[in-house]
A and B are shown apart, each in its own frame.
Chain A
Amino acid sequence: MSRIGVFICHCGENIGSVVDCERAAKTLASHPGVAYSTDYKYMCSDPGQNLVKKAIADHKLTGVVVSACSPRMHEPTFRNAAADAGLNPYLCEMANIREHCSWVHEDKEAATRKAIELIRLMVEKVKANEELQPIHVPITKRALVIGGGIAGIQAALDIANAGHEVVLVEREPSIGGHMLQLSETFPTLDCSQCILTPRMVEVARHPKIKLYTYSEVEALDGYIGNFEVTIRMKARSVDIEKCTGCGACMQKCPSRKILSEFNAGLLVPDPENPKKKLGYRTAIYTPSPQAVPNKPVIDREHCLYFQKGKCGVCAKVCPTDAIDYTQEETTVTEKVGAVVVATGYQVWSVAKAAEDYPYLGYGEYGYGTHPDIIDGLQFERLLSASGPTSGRVLRPSNGKEPKTVVFLSCVGSRDNEKGFTYCSKICCMYLSKHAMLYKHKVHDGQAYNFYMDIRAGGKTYDEFTRRTIEEDGCIYLRGRVSRIFPRGDKLVVQGADTLSNAQVEVEAELVVLATAITAQPDAEQLAQRLRVAYDKDRFFSEAHPKLRPVESQTAGIFFAGACQGPKDIPESVAQASAAASKAAGLLNADELEREPVVAQVHRAAPPVYSICFGCFFCERVCPYGAIEREEIRDRGGNLIKTVARVNEGLCTGCGLCAASCRANAITLRGFNDEQLFAVVNAIGEEQEESKAATP
């Protein structure tokens, strides 16, 4: 026997000025099954909610319909109020008579009739609602952090210090990411490695952090609180237990002409011996002198032993016998409850793109093939004391000091034609820093910066860029560069200065392009493996751009750093801590409570057991793999049939299975057939009544 309470909100003037709420309340009072019907100014206020709670008690209501704004706004508010009053929250529904009615219709009569009908539909639905209890799921109190750059490091430390174990997976041989490649960071000009390496060491030493380097995440199965991650540990060819990091192997390795990823492929002629080039690495190598762990890796593609079966010098000179040519890739699994994705960014190249790649490259800059045209990361390596030139700014073409350096902003960013539409955010600041550091090193040098805008919004950022212009004499020209071509041993940079309305030609000895910051090349594949959303530029999509910046739409997976969009170090660190607090918060609880709007398969007593006959069409359509197979056996252990069963932890409540089931054996709680047919049937009633109803 239904006793539904109807509460119609005026929402101040928002609803009340268009919909005649009093009349609606009176009309609904005589609807079969409605035990109490009233209207009120502000239902979501405390007195409004108390009205609901009191009515539930006084009138022994079996269901509640609050007719007000959108359920996307206040459904939790009223469900909590109902729960407080002792009514199962899933017996409370909302009728949207604001966003879908009073705000979009001008004819008051039509709006009022529509409101009455909408409320009636929800009353019929609530009559068919069932009590639902939240689902409790156990939690593994460990977190996975994917990526060991500054964001991953910060997140790992924060979660570990909060008392939970962390598994940190980094695919390079060392943690540190791009920040380890930088020389000095804006706006403080802190030495990047100096501020980063203590954290890297802390990660390595932390008792609660399990560090996997030179490893990749292969698969992530499971669901929030109960993930299982498969990690592929690539073969270092070095036993890290035995290796002491002495470096003897690297000193003796004969393959010494391999482009270094850490140096971003930069090569510079040795000023003392121009025929020799600086910047290479060896086949057995650590990416940087400050690598953590400081254990080398053999690049098998360039190692003589693996390619030709010769050499083997490293094994001979290793004092602890740590070289292991037979080492193979291994796969391990770890159980975690929360995941923080901090996989960072890559720097785009202006080189001519491959056939099937959507970005064209910059032919007008010669596709960057000239050695004196480099990108921002390569210039960092030039500036860095641990770089190929030990920090001297030298031309990659001839090893001499360049007296004129031209910096170009926005190469590939903010470009609708042949690059990316977004702003890469950090380039204005780092080019300003580059010009400043260049001038500090080459006192008689002149720097130019062709820019579109100067984006220096952070704390002391604007003052920093002004210093570059006013104290270090960098000439800022507001205009784009149309062409760069070689003339003799210089590079002619043709651009415009729109503020003085002139064409500008600069003969440069070095050109630095601030190329776009993009997502990692395999970001799409990783996102699909983790089942997280990503946008057109392959940056991972946060749950809400304003209010939920570090959460993904997938429960239990959080983002930190540039993998979500270009950003600088302070922002990456802030996001990392935010993601860590979300993860730690999740892991603090003993159990996880999930919404019970999930599917369930029919079960009955023997001999029926279930009207499911095991076609598993539901299994095929479920996007989450939430359908399991359950064998139904009799007392003797004989198999009767195999039917479907829903894993309530994985089920997200989409209802795809319910609509696909041929036997109607699987239903979606909260939106089952009874409820939805009740609503559809009520439409017919309105038509008959409205013909007879007095306007």
Chain B
Amino acid sequence: MSSPETEFEPRLVAFVCNWCTYAGADLAGTSRLKYASNVRVIRVPCSGRIDPLYIVKAFERGADGVLVSGCHPGDCHYAEGNYYARRRFTILRDLLYHIGIEPERLQFSWVSAAEGAKWADLINDLTAKLRAVGPFTGYRELIDASRGPS
């Protein structure tokens, strides 16, 4: 792998639900599947727990991309949480696009506890996509600008 200065390595933050996607990612691990190491997983009990502000904060803190992943429709451990997550996400995505965050940077997926391979492929695909889109500098520029000339 080339050094960080020459090749951009995207930072991907994933908010995943405990019952399906986290378990699916565990399965990818027990199956020893290999995928890009750019992702940082944050576990929540249900994708419905995810407040849109967490996603915004992640971008502010330097994430180049955010993934939200939960149980397949109909399979939510808490019956309906993933439906609310999906609705929230749909609106959030439009809103973020409106303020300048490219739609490729925010992804939503369903990964079940049995889909280890799907998780691995998903991370690889997203990482590649983010590498192509480039670093997210929007917030950085805002923060620097607000600080004035240093």
Contact = CB atoms under 8 A, between A and B. Distances in A.
A676 B54 contact: yes
Nearest to A685: B61
B28 A121 contact: no
A660 B49 CA distance: 8
B54 A680 contact: yes
Contacts of A110: 1, 37
B35 A531 contact: no
A687 interface: yes
Interface in A61-114: 70-73, 96, 98-101, 103-107, 110-111, 114
B81 interface: yes
Given A103-B30, A623-B81, A654-B81, A680 B35 contact: no
A550 B114 CA distance: 21
Contact of A96 (B11, B35, B41, B54): B41
B31 to A, nearest CB: 8
Interface string A639-682: 00000000000001111101110000000100101001101110
A117 B45 CA distance: 21
Nearest to B80: A623
A353 B129 CA distance: 49
What size tier do the contact residues of chain B reach?
35 or more
Given A105-B37, A623-B78, A656 B57 contact: no
B42 A72 contact: no
Given A655-B45, A673-B51, A531 B22 contact: no
B61 A100 contact: no
Contacts of B80: 621, 623, 656
A104 B28 contact: yes
A223 to B, nearest CB: 14
Contacts of B44: 655, 671, 676
B60 to A, nearest CB: 8
Nearest to B85: A659
Contacts of A653: 45
B121 interface: no
A623 B81 CA distance: 8
Contacts of B26: 70, 72-73, 96, 99-100
A553 B79 CA distance: 11
B34 to A, nearest CB: 6
Interface centre among B18, B77, B79 (most CB of A within 10 A): B79
Nearest to A654: B78
B106 to A, nearest CB: 15
A105 B34 contact: yes
B65 interface: no
Contacts of A656: 46, 48-49, 78, 80-81, 84
Interface string B78-97: 11110010001000000000
B125 to A, nearest CB: 15
Residue from the set A72, A100, A684 with the largest chain B CB neighbour count within 10 Å = A100
B79 A531 contact: yes
Contact of A117 (B30, B33, B40, B54): B40
Contacts of B130: none
A34 interface: no
Nearest to A680: B57
Contact of B42 (A106, A121, A652): A121
Main secondary structure on A side of the interface with B:
helix
A481 interface: no
Nearest to A541: B75
Contacts of A659: 48-51, 84, 88
A209 interface: no
A655 B49 contact: yes
Interface string A590-623: 0000000100000000000000000000000101
Contacts, number: 128
B3 to A, nearest CB: 9
A128 to B, nearest CB: 13
B99 to A, nearest CB: 18
B23 interface: yes
A683 B63 contact: yes
Nearest to A660: B84
Interface core residue of A70, A71, A105, A107 (most chain B CB under 10 Å): A70
A73 B84 CA distance: 28
Contacts of B43: 71
A681 B62 CA distance: 9
A514 interface: no
Contacts of B61: 680-681, 683-684, 687
A653 B49 CA distance: 9
B46 A104 contact: no
A111 B81 CA distance: 32
Contacts of B33: 104
A510 interface: no
B57 A681 contact: yes
A179 interface: no
A684 B1 CA distance: 23
A118 interface: yes
A476 to B, nearest CB: 37
Contacts of A100: 25-26, 29, 41
B148 interface: no
Contact of B45 (A101, A107, A111, A597): A597
Contacts of B62: 683-684, 687
B122 interface: no
Nearest to A115: B37
Q: Which one of B4, B49, B84 has the highest number of Cβ atoms from chain A below 10 Å of its Cβ?
A: B49
Nearest to B11: A687
A105 B41 CA distance: 14
Given A100-B29, A114-B37, A671 B45 contact: yes
A676 B58 CA distance: 11
A648 B45 CA distance: 16
Max chain B Cβ within 10 angstroms of own Cβ: one of A98, A117, A684: A684
Contacts of A121: 40, 42
A655 B48 contact: yes
A694 B106 CA distance: 31
A691 interface: yes
Contacts of B30: 99, 103
Interface in B1-43: 1, 4, 11, 13, 18, 22-23, 25-26, 28-30, 32-35, 37, 40-43
14 contacts: A70-B22, A99-B25, A104-B33, A104-B120, A117-B40, A553-B77, A624-B78, A656-B78, A673-B51, A680-B58, A683-B13, A684-B60, A684-B61, A684-B62
List 7 A-B pairs, minimum CB-CB distance, nearest first: A99-B29, A655-B49, A684-B61, A654-B78, A623-B79, A656-B48, A103-B29
Given A99-B29, A656-B48, A681-B61, 4 more contacts: A72-B26, A104-B35, A114-B40, A683-B58
